[in-house]
Amino acid sequence: MDNLKSPENEISGLPSLLIRDAHIWTENRAIRGSILIEDGRIQRIARRIAEQADEEILAERLVALPGLVDAHVHLRDMRLAYKEDFTSGTSAAAAGGFTTVLDMPNTLPPTDSAQRLREKARRASRNILVNTGFHAAAVGDRAAVETMKMAGAFSIKLYLPKPIAPLDLGDDLTIVEVLKAAKEASLPVTVHAEDAAQIEPTREIRTFKELVGSRLGKAETMAVSRILRLQKQIGCRIHFCHVTLPSSISSIGNWPLGGLSSEVTPHHTLLSEDSVEKLGWKAWMVPPLRPRRARSRLFREMATGNATIIATDHAPHTIKEKRRPPQKSPPGIPGLETAMPLMLTMVYKRKLSLGRLVSLLSTNPAKIFGLSSRGSIREGVDGDMILVDMKKKGKIDPDKFFSKAHYSPFEGWKTQGAVHTTIVNGSVVYSNGEITGKPGSGKVLRNGSRG
Ligand code: NCD
Ligand code: ZN
């Protein structure tokens, strides 16, 4: 019989992929070798692989890194699809080197019940190009938290400035209930740590600079210490989203009880509030950008390994919405397509090591969100990988984004180092500037399943 495919290949229908002669980042160093991916998994890593595969990539000048994991993105879709949808958002992820993203629940409708989570997952499954999981909104009802966990939620998101589902957060008791429910369901709580009472503008706001000035670091300091105090009582796992102050990183890092992790973003570590003055709405997000000194110290905390992960907080809006007067302009910037070229540039400038970059953008987020088969290149794990060209020079150009949000405070920045190829579950979804994956080729991930 003229049958070239192995029986396993016939069953899964997945073509095999051989990456030849790459510099492979594994066990915290680069080795020269080839990688064979079969049935969506890394089958073999060796200096030389003689076998043929359905597809081959000669990667002599490229570095193979584990696929990046972005634990904080807003893919929008549904009634906010005009800002971003599952296909445009995950195309942006693929172009940025992210093979897995975790989507935030502040959508329309919000992800605040198991049923809504399942509906979102169903819609995503037909439209995503990279692996996608979902965070769920904090709700008052413990049983609902448990059922959202059963539906696959990766965390319970507690949005202190303005809860996603109605909750009275003026009261510690409500937060205690949320933390207890998460603990019982063995889920981490992801916290947007800004104290609501501290961010009420008390005067008339005319400019973005004044708007940022009304949202001080004190709001974060108070929220972090409040959550730490309550964590001490309950002992649940807490992940602090987009922390902006070096002092928050140390409070979280020095916490003796464990169970905590911290996240920083490329924008808070690379930009200061000076950018708000220059760029206005393009540099408006929450938490806002901070003074220069805090920014450089935050970068150092990240580069020395005191922050646990980098996430983009990819938060797309239309330019028309962003251009409204400051208090009506929605906060948020797209970040999926800028994070990696910006951070590779930091590696090129020797301000960040490649090993740290891999931990912050892949290994650590995979670990803290239970993605045990992702975040490293080794035999037997899922075939999520990127090939990076460390020499490639570029310039941040929002017109070229696959995201619907064609703006960025990094517009015009010169970069060195770029994502060349993105491989998700063994299939090439992005290569050399082009999206090659099909909507629906990414997997919906459920917390607790192997993925
Ligand atoms: C986020 C968004 O647009 O969803 N914006 C942002 O600036 N980070 C929501 C939010 O966290 O407020
Ligand atoms: Zn966010």
Centre of ligand 2 to C-alpha 135, Å, is: 11
For the CA of 192, the closest atom of ligand 1 is 11
For the CA of 106, the closest atom of ligand 1 is 4
Centre of ligand 2 to C-alpha 103, Å, is: 9
212, 285, 318, 408, best to mutate for ligand 1 pocket (most atoms within 8 Å of CB): 285
Centre of ligand 1 to C-alpha 140, Å, is: 22
pLDDT of residue 200: 74
How many distinct helices (H) and strands (E) make up the chain?
15, 18
pLDDT of residue 258: 85
Residue 73 pairs in a beta bridge with 103, 314
> What pLDDT, in 10s, does the model give residues 321-366?
999 999 999 999 999 999 999 999 999 999 999 999 999 999 999 9
For the CA of 161, the closest atom of ligand 1 is 12
pLDDT of residue 4: 42
Centre of ligand 1 to C-alpha 377, Å, is: 32
Quote the percentage of the chain above a pLDDT of 90.
90
> What pLDDT, in 10s, does the model give residues 99-124?
999 999 999 999 999 999 999 999 99
pLDDT of residue 12: 57
Whether 77 is a known active-site residue: answer: no
pLDDT of residue 2: 37
> What pLDDT, in 10s, does the model give residues 141-186?
999 999 999 999 999 999 999 889 888 888 899 999 999 999 999 9
DSSP 284: -
**Distance separating the N- and C-terminal Cα atoms of the chain:** 35
Centre of ligand 1 to C-alpha 205, Å, is: 20
Measured in residues, the chain has a length of 451
User: Which is it for strands 136-137 and 131-134: parallel, antiparallel or unpaired?
Assistant: unpaired
pLDDT of residue 203: 79
Residue nearest to atom 4 of ligand 1 (CA): 315
246-253 and 217-234 are packed helices; what angle lies between their axes, rounded to 10 degrees?
Answer: 10
114-125 and 142-150 are packed helices; what angle lies between their axes, rounded to 10 degrees?
Answer: 20
Residue recorded with tokens 């502040």: 106
User: Higher pLDDT residue, 31 or 166?
Assistant: 31
Centre of ligand 1 to C-alpha 332, Å, is: 5
Confirm if 414 and 393 have CB atoms less than 8 A apart.
yes
For the CA of 162, the closest atom of ligand 1 is 12
pLDDT of residue 169: 86
Residue range 261-270: average pLDDT?
Answer: 98
Centre of ligand 2 to C-alpha 379, Å, is: 34
Sign of CA dihedral 346, 219, 210, 313: positive
Place 384 in a pLDDT band, splitting at 50, 70 and 90: very high
Cβ-proximal residues to 358 (8 Å cutoff; 6+ apart), any chain:
25, 65, 66
Sign of CA dihedral 208, 210, 211, 216: positive
72, 80, 106, 271, best to mutate for ligand 1 pocket (most atoms within 8 Å of CB): 106
**Residue 215 CA from chain centroid, whole number:** 24
For the CA of 332, the closest atom of ligand 1 is 7
pLDDT of residue 451: 52
- Answer yes or no: is pLDDT of 233 > 80: yes
Residue 43 pairs in a beta bridge with none
Sheet strands (E) in 266-314:
309-310
pLDDT of residue 450: 57
Establish whether residue 268 lines the binding site of ligand 1, counting it when its CB lies within 6 angstroms of any ligand atom.
no
Establish whether residue 305 lines the binding site of ligand 1, counting it when its CB lies within 6 angstroms of any ligand atom.
no
> What pLDDT, in 10s, does the model give residues 277-297?
999 999 999 999 999 999 999
Establish whether residue 103 lines the binding site of ligand 1, counting it when its CB lies within 6 angstroms of any ligand atom.
no
Residue nearest to atom 12 of ligand 1 (CA): 286
Peptide bond just before 109 cis, omega within 30 deg: yes
Top-level class of domain 67-378: alpha beta
The C-alpha atoms of residue 134 and residue 151 are separated, in whole angstroms, by: 10
Establish whether residue 76 lines the binding site of ligand 1, counting it when its CB lies within 6 angstroms of any ligand atom.
no
Comparing CA positions, the residue from 404, 408, 214, 305 lying closest to residue 28 is 305
Residue nearest to atom 10 of ligand 1 (CA): 286
The C-alpha atoms of residue 407 and residue 398 are separated, in whole angstroms, by: 5
Cβ-proximal residues to 43 (8 Å cutoff; 6+ apart), any chain:
16, 36, 37, 379
pLDDT of residue 8: 42
Establish whether residue 314 lines the binding site of ligand 1, counting it when its CB lies within 6 angstroms of any ligand atom.
no
Confirm if 228 and 239 have CB atoms less than 8 A apart.
no
Establish whether residue 311 lines the binding site of ligand 1, counting it when its CB lies within 6 angstroms of any ligand atom.
no
Confirm if 101 and 70 have CB atoms less than 8 A apart.
yes
Q: Which of 70, 313, 382, 389 is catalytic?
A: 313
Residue 385 pairs in a beta bridge with 66, 423
> What pLDDT, in 10s, does the model give residues 431-441?
999 999 999 99
Cβ-proximal residues to 349 (8 Å cutoff; 6+ apart), any chain:
none
**Coil vs helix vs strand at 25:** strand
pTM: 0.96
* CA distance readout (Å), 277 to 210, 271, 280: 9, 12, 6
Sign of CA dihedral 74, 80, 83, 84: positive
Residues lying with their CB under 5 A of ligand 2, a single-atom ion? 313
Both tokens of 147, joined, read 């059922």
436: left (phi over 0), alpha (psi -120 to 50) or beta: alpha
220, 289, 313, best to mutate for ligand 1 pocket (most atoms within 8 Å of CB): 313
The C-alpha atoms of residue 342 and residue 258 are separated, in whole angstroms, by: 31
Q: What mean pLDDT, rounded, does the chain reach?
A: 95
Establish whether residue 199 lines the binding site of ligand 1, counting it when its CB lies within 6 angstroms of any ligand atom.
no
Query: What are the boundaries of each domain within the chain?
Result: 67-378
Place 138 in a pLDDT band, splitting at 50, 70 and 90: very high
